[in-house]
Structure formats: C-alpha cells, structure tokens
Structure 1
C-alpha cells in the first residue's frame, strides 16, 4: 500500500512530507540515495526515483506525530519541475491492417509459378472448382466420378441428362477392375 505525500522546494533543498500518523509506532524506515528515496512502514511503501541528484550526506528525515518529513539537499541550485523523473512509455504501434485477400492471391501466384506438370494441372482444376457455381461443381463431380476419372465437364445441362460414359485418352483402353 502506498502513502500520500507532498513536496516543496527552496533553492538549496527539497522537502518531502509523507502523511503517516504515529510513524514511530509503525516501524518506519527511510533509505536515501543520490537519485532515490525509499520509505517503508508496516505495510506502507513509498518509492521515488528523483528527477535530479541530491547530496546524501546533507539529507535527513524526522518523524512528527502526523507525518514523516524528509529533507533532501540539492546538488545544484536549479529549480525542479517535478519531484520524480518521468518514465516515458512508448505507445504501442498499431499494426497496419492486413489485406488477407491480397496475401492469398500473392501466395496463389507463387504456387502457380512453382507448380509444374500434373501439380499445375491439379491446381488449375482446384481453382476452377473453388470459384465455380454450385451447378458447375455438381457437373464436375458427376462427370468425373461416373467416367472413372476420364471426363471432367462443367456443363450441367449436358451431364445432368444421362450417365457420363468412360472416355479414355487416345491410344489407351479402359478396363474394369476384376472382382
């Protein structure tokens, strides 16, 4: 738990007033260093990182019934704008929004360039299938499965009328698997 405090200054010193009733009964302790003041007292804590350095040997503290008064000797006679040095926290940089569609199309272009032979052909069929209407997809599925993989049609009007027959490539013949 922290304690309330206030401060004022003159040309030669900075005085910090820590509001703490019966400080002597609360086992208070004060540590003073060149750029820091640390005070504890039965669950209370005050930790200050000073704006400017002080002279530790000429600094002191004392407890009175309602407060602890810490007197810090200034190293130089400059006016302090604040008691503590400000910690500058860099604001998080908001990442730019990603255009996922553009990233996907760039990846597809890379895949198309790298693909060769049968892989390139399969990629072409995947692209046609994924960008087609449900009617075209149905025609492709029916023609491919009924022809044993020898016909791939996108025309549902033609394919939907009757069973698609097997049409092997020129110079080959189609054989049924023996059961």
Structure 2
C-alpha cells in the first residue's frame, strides 16, 4: 500500500510530509539517496525519484505522532517545478546525452554567422576570434581594447605588454578627454 504525502520547498531545502500514524510502531525506515527517497513501514511503501539531486549528508527524517517529516538539502538553489521526475523527462535526458554537442554547437555558430549583418557580424567575428584564442591573445585583446578606449584591438601580446596602448581615433576625427 502506498503512502500519502505532501511537500514544500525553500531556497535550500525540500520538506516531504508523509502521513502515517504511529510510524515508530510501524517500523518505519527511510533511505535517502542523491536523487531518490525510499520509505517503508509495515506493508506501506513510498518511492520518490527526485527531480533534482540533493545532499544526502545534510538531509534527515523525523517521526511525529501522525507523520514522518523528511528534510532534503538541495544541491543547488534551483526552484523545483515538481518533486519527482516524470517518465518522459528521464527518457528526454537519456536522448539528450546521446547527442553530439560539439556538432550541435558548430551548427548553431554557422546559423548565427549567416544571420548576422553589419555591426552584429563584426561582433560575432570578434567573439569567435576571442573564444578560440590562447590566453595570451585574449589578454592582448582585453588590454588593447580597454586602454585605447575601444579604438585599438590587438592580438599581439608581445607588443601590447610592453607599454600602454594609446588611443587611435578613426581617420577624420580627433580624440578629446571628456573632462577637458
């Protein structure tokens, strides 16, 4: 026979209240696993496949005269939409894990490149260069761009590391400091 229960949550925990009079006399037992709770008590059973993982060491249970309260410590502060996984969710997760994520990301990048125009395309190009570069190139890009007020973008760390990058305004314009 299954047990009736209710649950609520806070940012840090999930509390499951299992309705069971005289739980101690009925030899209740609770087993808490990272994503599963299993409770038994003289002919009664409750198995919950939790939606999100919990921290077993910080979780507990306590029997009262009319109920058993199971307190589960959340692994992350995520709000749970439901207490348990649905069968479809379990299947969907298994299907998702079988995907080739590298191929999916490269397909997405190709779509983004085709759709981008003008300044968006230029920003896309800079993002691609930055994300696929070595740490030295990334440092050079950050330093040159920030020190020049956004007028210079260099990928040569040997050149940029030696001195402060000067402002080089576009042709036909002049640079003025805002406070002068």
TM-score (norm 1): 0.49
Greater Rg by CA: 1
